[in-house]
Amino acid sequence: MEFEILINNLTNPTLLFFVLGIIAALVKSDLEIPESTSKFISLYLLFSIGFKGGQELANSPWSTEILSSLIFGVLLASLIPLYTFFILKRSLSVYDAGAIAAAYGSVSAVTFVASMSFLEMQKLSAGGHMVAVMAFMESPAIIVGVILMNRFDKTDTTHPSFNLGKVLKHSFTNGSVLMIIGSLVIGMIADSKQADGIKPFTTDIFKGFLALFLLEMGMVTARRFNAFKHYSWFASVFALVIPLINGCVVAAVSQFVTPDVANRFVFAVLAASASYIAVPAAMKLAAPKADPGLYLPMALGLTFPLNITFGMPLYFLIVQNS
């Protein structure tokens, strides 16, 4: 059973396109997806996930489970950067430790999208409120990371204090966050009959666009991977081990928040993922001294492929057996 789930995931067409992207970059092929097309695909995926989640929320009454799920998500996004920061600052600067902790406490929208595809393979679907959980998990990690950098940086007394208001505004108005929250709200208030009219666009072509997006992610991953070779083995080990620990622990303890297998799986994936869109954008404002050549390749070059290949089957097995 376990081996079958792993094989099914590894032979998923969308994942195979990710592998093709890596191969294309390694052989220095001229294959590329234009930047404007890539941005459109990204926006489409976020729009589709958000809109469908809003529609599901509109058709399901609010409950204590939904409220507890939102609280649990925010709690995870606050605790993960808190403990990872103290692990990281033993070997890295305070700024790098804070930026990486924020990235690993926040979430990856693309990994979330891949988890939806994985659940479809298992003939399962997560609740629409999990889209809201993902959106709410973006900012707490950024706040915690910034606070920790402020608290523990003793080297530069002339550096002005961070403007948390600007960082928060940037994190909420970031294109990816705004698109998914906006689509969620529109999905909630849209008439269900009118929404069916765009179902071919929101649902039927979703996997095709996901495959193209992962193709580009594969190419980007292979290029980013070389960017942090001059860093010690510590960064690589962290990017591979910590996400698995986070995912496995949350897969087990999420049973106290919700009994739903699909929702628990999504919680595990969110806890194991690392942001390489919202957090890097926020860190440009909050921590210009942090090296994006470190935290970006860690999240995209190691953690992302780890989660979509071996992580997801592992989290799913834990959820099923606990």
Tokens 């973006």 correspond to 138
- At 105-146, the pLDDT tens digits run 999 888 898 898 889 888 898 988 888 888 788 778 888 888
pLDDT top residue among 242 and 49? 242
Which residues does 67 contact at the CB level (< 8 Å), separation at least 6? none
- Of residues 312 and 16, which shows the higher confidence score? 312
- Residues 268 and 247: beta-carbon distance below 8 Å: yes
> Which 3 state secondary structure label does DSSP give 92?
coil
> Which CATH number is associated with domain 13-21+35-153+163-320?
1.20.1530
The domain ranges of the chain are 13-21+35-153+163-320
pLDDT score, position 200: 83
Q: What pLDDT is attached to residue 158?
A: 47
Q: How high is the pLDDT of residue 318?
A: 95
Q: What mean pLDDT, rounded, does the chain reach?
A: 83
Residues 314 and 247: beta-carbon distance below 8 Å: yes
Percentage of the chain exceeding pLDDT 70: 86
At 22, which amino acid appears?
I
Question: Given a cut of 60, is residue 168 above it in pLDDT?
Answer: yes
- Identify whether the C-beta of residue 129 lies closer than 8 Å to the C-beta of residue 70: yes
pLDDT (0 to 100) of residue 4: 60
Q: Is the pLDDT of residue 202 over 50?
A: yes
Q: Which residue in this structure is represented by tokens 């970006």?
A: 296
Q: What is the pLDDT of residue 265?
A: 97
Higher pLDDT, 73 or 188: 73
Integer Cα distance of 288 and 66 in angstroms:
37
Nearest to 112 by CA among 186, 53, 36: 53
Rounded Cα distance between 119 and 260, Å, is 12
How many CA within 13 A on the CB side of residue 316? 27
H helix or E strand, kind and range, residue 132: helix 129-136
Of 309, 317, 299, 319, give the one whose Cα is nearest residue 251.
319
CA pair distance 190, 182, nearest whole angstrom: 12
**Per-residue confidence (pLDDT) for residue 26, from 0 to 100:** 87
Q: Tens digits of per-residue pLDDT, 14-66?
A: 778 888 988 998 898 989 888 888 888 878 887 887 787 788 777 777 788 88
Specify the higher pLDDT residue, 110 or 103. 103
Instruction: Tell me which of 134-148, 216-230, 237-251, 291-305 is least confident.
Output: 216-230
pLDDT band at 71 (very low <50, low <70, confident <90, very high): very high
- Confidence label for 196 from pLDDT (cuts 50, 70 and 90): confident
What local confidence, expressed as pLDDT, does residue 228 receive? 64
Residue with structure tokens 């966050």?
A: 177
Mean pLDDT across the stretch 268-274? Answer: 96
First to last CA, the chain: 16
pLDDT recorded at residue 51: 85
Virtual CA dihedral for 303, 309, 314, 319, nearest 10 degrees?
90
Question: What number is the average pLDDT over the span 199-204?
Answer: 80
- Give 3's pLDDT tier (boundaries 50, 70, 90): low
**Above 70 in pLDDT, residue 80?**
yes
Q: Tell me the Ramachandran region of residue 124: left when phi exceeds 0, alpha when psi lies from -120 to 50, beta otherwise.
A: beta
Alpha carbon distance 20, 267 (integer Å): 28
Residue 307 to residues 210, 245, 271, Cα–Cα distance (Å): 16, 12, 11
Q: How confident is the model at residue 171 (pLDDT cuts 50, 70, 90)?
A: low
Return the axis-axis angle of helices 164-173 and 138-152, rounded to nearest 10°: 160
For the record, the structure tokens of 36 come out as: 């404007």
